[in-house]
Structure 1
Amino acid sequence: MTRQKKGQPNKASQKISHVDNTSGTAQRARLLERLHISPIDTFTAIRELNIVRPGARINELRGLGHKILTHRLTLTDDQGRAHRGMALYYLSTNPPAEVAA
């Protein structure tokens, strides 16, 4: 085993995916980037974007002037349980098909 010298970055740490960055800034950036592509629900934001409290990040983005709307729906979690009133977030310029109709 070799010892790492002080002040030198660990090579493995340089390959960390951006979803491993849990700072609020990084989470807001990931969420906003995704919202420009398509709507996202709470479970997907948690699972795919590593955002534990998507509602808080949405609130912060709204405070920064982004027009993000919420549609409430029933979603099924990974264990097959239904959850009523879950959020589907979307930019006002990119509504989901079920809301636009």
Structure 2
Amino acid sequence: MKEPLQAIEIRASRGLTTQQQRDVVLQLLSRRPAHTHELRSQGVSHPAARVMELRRAGYQIDSSRVATVDSDGFAHYGVALYSLIESPSPVIYQGPAAIIGAGYGSAGAYVTVPTSTMQ
């Protein structure tokens, strides 16, 4: 009975949430391009879905198709190779606004709010 418990424990320790998987994809792609097999070996269970989610979040990720050889020596053709081109820009409000906070030279906190929300 110990063997099944150990197998379950190993699988549980390998499981990553989808957010953790997206983080792994970004960490790898920020260093260099990575293909599907590399991402899966790092715990990303469905790389194409994670890349799609990151693209929807504003990341510019390019993909091309390559041939790879897996750890068993088998060739795979048409494997996706992903490259991070650009991270999303921060969202900046560009309408009329007022700065609310402490006076000039103080250590107060400042908040910029749209003037339409002020009364």
TM over 0.5: yes
Question: Within 1, Cα distance between the matches of 2:63 and 2:85?
Answer: 9
Partner of 2:77: 84
Question: Within 2, Cα distance between the matches of 1:37 and 1:20?
Answer: 23
**Unpaired runs of 5+ in structure 1?**
1-18, 94-101
Deviation by residue 1:16-54 (Cα, 9 ceiling, x = unmatched): xxx84511111101111211111111111111x211111
Partner of 1:63: 56
One-letter code aligned to 1:72 = R
**Unpaired runs of 5+ in structure 2?**
1-12, 87-119
Query: What secondary structure is seen at the aligned counterpart in 1 of 2:65?
Result: strand
Partner of 1:51: 44
Q: Which one has the bigger strand percentage?
A: 2
Query: What secondary structure is seen at the aligned counterpart in 1 of 2:59?
Result: coil
Q: Which has the higher contact order (CA 8 A, sep 6+)?
A: 1
1:31 aligns with 2:25: yes
Which structure has the bigger radius of gyration?
2
Normalising by the residue count of structure 2, what TM-score does the alignment of the two structures yield?
0.58
Question: Within 2, Cα distance between the matches of 1:21 and 1:29?
Answer: 14
Normalising by the residue count of structure 1, what TM-score does the alignment of the two structures yield?
0.68
Partner of 1:13: none
Identity of aligned residues (%): 32
Q: CA RMSD in A?
A: 1.5
Structure 1 segments, 4+ long, off by >2 Å, are none
